[in-house]
Structure 1
């Protein structure tokens, strides 16, 4: 039976996806410092490589030339982020993408794809299985499955959204005062004031959010400490139930719980991670670091529409501001694809559209107000 060009293209697309996954998990394994997570990443990389080999063989059997496929740009960006900031930085994004890709083989005719689809869906369950055999703690399983997102993992999302907030809000502000025909110097001062006000507000809000979370976590850990001191047997029973829910036999769960709580140095740490889903070493991260990061990211986005008014004025500055802001919006939309997996052109164009619509509305309102006041 002759294989159609469309089928070969489908084989190639499937191969690309598996190569991306294998390359990413291989890097995560190398950068990971925890032996149990290294085991998880190695098994995931081996699974993706097996799938990739299947599609290579399908392409060769179809009589087509086996293409030289390298990781996509999106995969390379995630790899770079993992190498620069560590696996936890991108872990929630990778986990979300893995879940989104779990149905990628649905409806494909090859019998083997049913097995592949099951293996893709089982990648998260692989971590739960490793908690019994390879010693992966419940907090790591929860972290990788996305139930408790780490502050490092959310940093990518916060970075993108912080820059987007600064760019869209200050572009709208600048266009509003430009529509009111404010002088170029006045627009520049307004834009810089908007940058400082917005960045300061974002930083304060982020500090309050993280500091409140830290205080809440400290209180929860304090309560757990008191309960452990007052009734250690009850805490051991609760911990055993958690391990049973993860699939351990009752006897093994009780043995593991009592063994962990017998060590006074690590008992509270274990309960915080397993029962509360809290990492006592981080407690949600540093409030000051979060505030400064939020300030910087907002400012990076907010300065873009202001820059042309430093060197120019009038409608020339307005046009340049709109153009470079559109480029910035497209870049932010492209960065969002790291989390969503959508097309770069789709996400980038959507971001440009929404940002320019907001700027157009404020420009029109500013124009009306300027005319009515000047009239």
Structure 2
């Protein structure tokens, strides 16, 4: 029965540390570089300058995203490790109080007090299992669920670079008009949003349109700013 239940009840990986930075990196790379290219195009018609700005935006953004994700996730991991050590110390120095606390967490969920006390006692015989139970109850994670800084950094770097490359590619292949990059970027924005819907509860068209609107508004405003600066300097 358990094998049949598992076969019909699968969950996606929500704690692997790769999804958020990958999605955020790709979206950020696509939107920010599209907006950057549009802003530069609004101020100059030189495709060489526009392409150079796009390459610089891709490189700077990818390294910035990777570094930022590594530091932030490493800090989050270090904080979690510190709190886990606090819980491990409590288990070592105050086992009776911690056992009572674990039993109380079961009774709070409706388990009979006598049964909760016995379950807590049996589960606490293994120190590693006891630590996992306490940290899950109190911190919402276990030592095995800790985020991985390197995974987050690499995911951010690659996904940002991929997203940022899309609005830049038309210029690298000889395009001289912004509308070519805009068409590619808008299609990519809608497609990226639609793909993200596969791991969320939103419909593909809603997610795609939302991303398209966000990216298009950002690019339009930056283009207007570039055009205004060009006009002011003439």
TM-score, reference length from structure 2:
0.90
| Two-structure CA RMSD over aligned residues (Å) | 2.3
Match of 1:79?
Answer: none
1:207 aligns with 2:70: yes
Query: Which structure would you say has the larger RCO, counting Cα contacts within 8 Å and 6 or more residues apart?
Result: 2
**CA gap 1:233/1:88 in 2 versus in 1, 3 angstroms:** farther
Match of 2:145?
Answer: 282
Match of 2:168?
Answer: 306
1:323 aligns with 2:183: yes
Counting only pairs closer than 5 Å after superposition, residues 1-375 of structure 1 correspond to structure 2 as 41=6, 87-89=11-13, 150-152=14-16, 155-284=18-147, 286-315=148-177, 318-373=178-233, 375=234
Contact 2:27 2:160 in 1 (8 A): yes
Q: Structure 1 stretch 178-187 or stretch 298-307: which is displaced more? A: 178-187
Partner of 1:151, secondary structure, is: coil
CA–CA distance in structure 2, aligned partners of residues 342 and 276 of structure 1? 29
Partner of 1:281, secondary structure, is: helix
**CA gap 1:231/1:337 in 2 versus in 1, 3 angstroms:** same
CA–CA distance in structure 2, aligned partners of residues 326 and 243 of structure 1? 51
Shift of 1:350: 3.1
CA–CA distance in structure 1, aligned partners of residues 87 and 26 of structure 2? 38
Structure 1 moving runs of 4+ over 6 Å:
none
String of CA shifts for 1:61-112, please: whole Å, max 9, x gaps. xxxxxxxxxxxxxxxxxxxxx7xxxx342xxxxxxxxxxxxxxxxxxxxxxx
Match of 1:51?
Answer: none
CA–CA distance in structure 2, aligned partners of residues 181 and 264 of structure 1? 66
Shift of 1:265: 4.6
Where structure 1 has 5 or more consecutive residues not aligned to the other structure, the ranges are 1-28, 30-34, 46-81, 90-149
Partner of 1:327, secondary structure, is: helix
Contact 1:160 1:335 in 2 (8 A): no
Where structure 2 has 5 or more consecutive residues not aligned to the other structure, the ranges are none
